[in-house]
Amino acid sequence: MASVLVVEDDQFVRSALIRQLTEASHTVRSVGTALEALREVAQIGFDVVILDLGLPDLDGAEALKMLRGITDVPVIVATARDDEGEIVRLLNDGADDYLVKPFSVAHLSARMTAVLRRVRGGGAGEPGRAAAPPAVLRVGGLAVDPLRRQARLDGVTLDLTRREFDLLAYLAGRPGVVVPRRELLAEVWRQAYGDDQTIDVHLSWLRRKLGETAARPRYLHTLRGVGVKLEPPAEPT
């Protein structure tokens, strides 16, 4: 069961989604405009947002960017547009998944389950046996706790977005290893393809919070044309 915000201006589609998601045991709220969606998300915590692109007050692509400015809640875009270039842009702008209309609620529910499993770091364990919590990952003065989704640098908690944390945790699990960009897109962004700029932007934000720059890296090192690695700062000589 998940708490869902449906952002859809078509009353018929909206009513059908509310009814069928409720029947599937989800808690559902709905709005018909982008501004209402932003207000709801700012005031109420949701597990997932279903975002239509054809909204009356603001294009859904712009609404997605504004949502990403205030929250990391998973967003599944529901769109009648099937242009590959636009879908790539939406994923790069922060969408977690997309569905092209028309789609069944069963299909939507399956996508929601997959997105929430990724966000929560979940996976199926052995029946009747609790999964062992992942260990805290330590790289130099960095401590990354995947279970609590917390990261600390020299004892100070880092204020990271969900994607920044996912990127840091993935690299921290492979200290000193150069991780190819294609692997980061597949494992962190869950995309088979995408723009390298997406990774560069998030690396830049992450570096800022780690107190470093691309010109003077401490933890994050980019090997041009190859990938990225995270390793402890070199000891002063």
Full-model pTM? 0.55
pLDDT tens track for 134-147? 578 899 999 998 87
Higher pLDDT, 197 or 223: 223
Residues 205-211, mean pLDDT to the nearest whole number: 93
Work out the average pLDDT over 28-34: 92
DSSP string, the chain: --EEEEE---HHHHHHHHHHHHHTT-EEEEESSHHHHHHHHHHS--SEEEEES--SSS-HHHHHHHHHHH----EEEEES---HHHHHHHHHTT-SEEEESS--HHHHHHHHHHHHHHHTT-----TT-PPPPPPPEEETTEEEETTTTEEEETTEEP---HHHHHHHHHHHTSTT--EEHHHHHHHTS--SS--HHHHHHHHHHHHHHTT--SSS-SSEEEETTTEEEE-PPPPP-
Residue range(s) of every CATH 3.40.50.2300 domain in the chain: 3-119
Least confident of 12-21, 96-105, 194-203: 194-203
Residues of the chain with CATH 1.10.10.10: 137-230
Options 1.10.150.650, 1.10.10.10, 3.10.180.10, 3.40.1280.10; CATH for 137-230 is: 1.10.10.10
The CATH fold assigned to 3-119 is: Rossmann fold (3.40.50)
